[in-house]
Amino acid sequence: MSLDRRQALQQLGLLGTTALLGQQVTAADAVGWKLSTFQLDVTPPVGHPLLGISFSPSTTLLDPLEARGFVLTGPEPALVVISIDWCEVRNDAFHRWRDVLAAAAGTTPERVLVHTVHQHDAPYFDLTAQKLLDASKPGGRMLDPSFHEDCVQRAAMALRASLANRIPVTHIGVGQAKIEKLASSRRVDENGKVSFRRYSRCTDPVLQALPDGQIDPWLKTISFWNDSKPLLGLSVYACHPMSYYGGGEISGDFPNMARKLRDTSEPRLFQIYASGCCGDVTAGKYNDGSKGNRPLFAERLAGGMARAWADTRRHPLKSIRFRNEQMILPHSELPAMSEAVLQEKLNNPAFPIGTRAQIALGLSNLKQHADGHHIDVPMIDFGPAQLILLPAESFVAYQLFAQEQRPDSFVVTLGFGESAPGYIPTNQAYKEGFREEHGYTWNRPGAEDVIQLTLKKLLLG
């Protein structure tokens, strides 16, 4: 990048700062790393709002939601990874998870990777947005703060309890498998007319017949071992985790079913599933929304997890490094996303709760950035494999770009970390009208430049 371009991006607020936390762990010290795992139920009570029904109260519990995580303790401050069966956590809710789990693990918040799988028949947490709704003239409820805090505290308790059962980690495993007939790009090209109309469910035969488009077909699994004993498998696949949704049922959808299938078929292994960067990747081409698709997708996903496990190659754990990049994704420049306009709409009782909740999310994002809010992008480098957490609904192109930086390694990228920005399209997707078609994009164009620079620093710096 030229100096002039770098300076221009800095002036626009599009470049963040760099932080390197932790140092190289020597091969002799690597045996000091130990692993513990924890899990807890995070199912909301029936009646709690869900994103899939536009923040209206849920009516039924279909299947429980879980949070599963692990802690690595050793020569450096602890590292924590947790995957939660919720739609999103953002802004102060996201930081609450990190702060409390960091205190429980005796580490710093940057070293806690908080990820949500992003099912839509699940709750969605932004504590500031709820406060904004509370203060508005019509009021409204999109979440229960007390339930959120209860889950955070129980997660901390589970984490602390797990530390009594730490097991030495001697090897890291990597394996991958292709999954077919599950993921497809939202982007479609109908005879030169580009749109993003292939949503999580799609009934248009013309759109169903079009190619998959840009996806990452590989499910990747990182595993931890004590000599020949497997301890944990973290599987990541980039596809929006919805089959049918929006009927008021609390559900973890097909990823939850797939994980349970793997729990049964491989009971000795602690299974964690996480969604990759799939802001623009859904099951749309293969999903007409019928209920029979959920178990079918679960079988395809579980089959990919099983094949990735069978493909696993073990490597001695010689080092663990942690890096953290701080980046800024400025709030949308559109007049309609200004504070005055959003506040006026929030106070309008003519809008339903689903609309007003999304307006509150936009206001929450704006207020965070008014305080100079940055987003941490952490990476855990295990030597043969790297684990990265990107924010929100990052597009799959960012995941593929990360892999291109280290073609000699096993780069695994999670999406849905700090989820305040909403969709994070590529520059090309902005030009093609994604924001106008989908909305729910709180950041301005140019994010691709920031994310690519961040990934280069993490992987090549």
Is 400 domain-assigned?
Answer: yes
pLDDT category, 373, cuts 50, 70, 90? confident
The kind and range of the H/E element at 332 are none
368 within 8 A of 128, measured Cβ to Cβ: yes
In three-state secondary structure terms, 67 is strand
| pLDDT of 435 over the 70 cut | yes
Is 256 domain-assigned?
Answer: yes
Give the C-alpha distances (Å, rounded to integers) separating 89 from 92, 126, 173, 380, 438.
Answer: 8, 6, 29, 21, 20
The more confident residue out of 370 and 300 is 300
| For range 264-278, the mean pLDDT | 96
Alpha helix (H) residue ranges in 136-252: 145-162, 205-209
Is 194 domain-assigned?
Answer: no
Is 193 domain-assigned?
Answer: no
Q: Looking at residue 372, what is its pLDDT?
A: 72
pLDDT category, 461, cuts 50, 70, 90? confident
What's the pLDDT tens digit per position in 382-425?
999 999 999 999 999 999 999 999 999 999 999 999 999 999 99
What's the pLDDT tens digit per position in 198-207?
999 999 999 9
| For range 235-255, the mean pLDDT | 98
Q: Looking at residue 32, what is its pLDDT?
A: 87
Mean pLDDT of the chain: 93
Is 196 domain-assigned?
Answer: no
| For range 318-344, the mean pLDDT | 95
| DSSP string computed for 239-307 | S---SS--SSEE--HHHHHHHHHHHHH-TTSEEEEEE-S-TTEESGGG--S-TTHHHHHHHHHHHHHHH
For the chain, the maximum distance between any two Cα atoms, rounded to a whole number of angstroms, is 65
| pLDDT of 4 over the 80 cut | no
Name the DSSP letter for residue 57. B
What is the total count of domains within the chain? 1
Is 198 domain-assigned?
Answer: no
361 within 8 A of 90, measured Cβ to Cβ: yes
| For range 283-310, the mean pLDDT | 98
Is 11 domain-assigned?
Answer: yes
* N- to C-terminal Cα separation, the chain: 14
314 within 8 A of 104, measured Cβ to Cβ: no
pLDDT category, 31, cuts 50, 70, 90? low
pLDDT above 90 coverage of the chain, percent: 90
What's the pLDDT tens digit per position in 125-148?
999 999 999 999 999 999 999 999
Is 452 domain-assigned?
Answer: yes
Give me the phi and psi of 46, to 5 degrees please: -55, 135
- Domain range enclosing 146: 3-184+213-460
